[in-house]
Amino acid sequence: MLEVSTRKVRGFTAKMADEIRFIRSWAENPLTTGAVSPSGPDLTRRMAAYIEAERPGQVLEIGPGTGVVTHSILERGIGPERVIALEYNDNFCRLLRRRYPDMQVVEGDAYRLRETLADVPAGSLASIVSSMPLFSRPKEERRSLLFQAFELLQPGAPFIQFSYAMVAPIALEPGVFTVERSGWILKNLPPARVWVYRKTV
């Protein structure tokens, strides 16, 4: 019983530490962090559920922060050696490398995705999961990020993005790509939903 209680205390302490890291990062640069606290488990599991685990190839996570979505990706059955985590914040990069030593962590700018991940072959990724604060950037930059992602993804593979907004973070272009949205995930604070983009083959 004492061991279980100790684990709960450690888990609570780690969660509080992550909350503090997020608040500090958001206060220092709200445009790159985009959220005051990490995403909740209902949202992270919903995002990971859209990953096509049966596809061969690596899974790219953009903007992993402290790794809450990463945890759900690994729970989905994706081995850490298959995951590339692209993070802009150097403090989060160091944290991710400690927590997930078998995962490739890349420090860089997702809005220059093809340059940042120049060693990733075009058309090789099985899925991309993004926690980027897209609405903090102009729509042209959001669209550019999506099309750079499509270059890296296998045909028909998903680009998975969450948002707190009522509208799609990247507007639909019929005949160019499709977009699917989840219902509202009300247990997340604030409520969010997941948008899944696929290039039209």
Q: How far apart are the C-alpha atoms of 192 and 32, rounded to whole Å?
A: 18
User: Are residues 136 and 31 in contact, defined by beta-carbon separation less than 8 angstroms?
Assistant: yes
What is the DSSP code string of 130-153? E---GGGS-HHHHHHHHHHHHHHB
Q: What is the pLDDT of residues 36-82, one digit of tens each?
A: 457 899 999 999 999 999 999 999 999 999 999 999 999 999 999 99
Radius of gyration of the chain from its Cα atoms, rounded to whole angstroms: 16
Q: How far apart are the C-alpha atoms of 143 and 58, rounded to whole Å?
A: 23
Residue-wise pLDDT tens for the chain (201 aa)?
A: 555 555 554 555 655 565 555 455 444 554 444 554 578 999 999 999 999 999 999 999 999 999 999 999 999 999 999 999 999 999 999 999 999 999 999 999 999 999 999 999 999 999 999 999 999 999 999 999 999 999 999 999 999 999 999 999 999 999 999 999 999 999 999 999 999 999 997
User: Are residues 25 and 38 in contact, defined by beta-carbon separation less than 8 angstroms?
Assistant: no
Q: How far apart are the C-alpha atoms of 74 and 188, rounded to whole Å?
A: 20
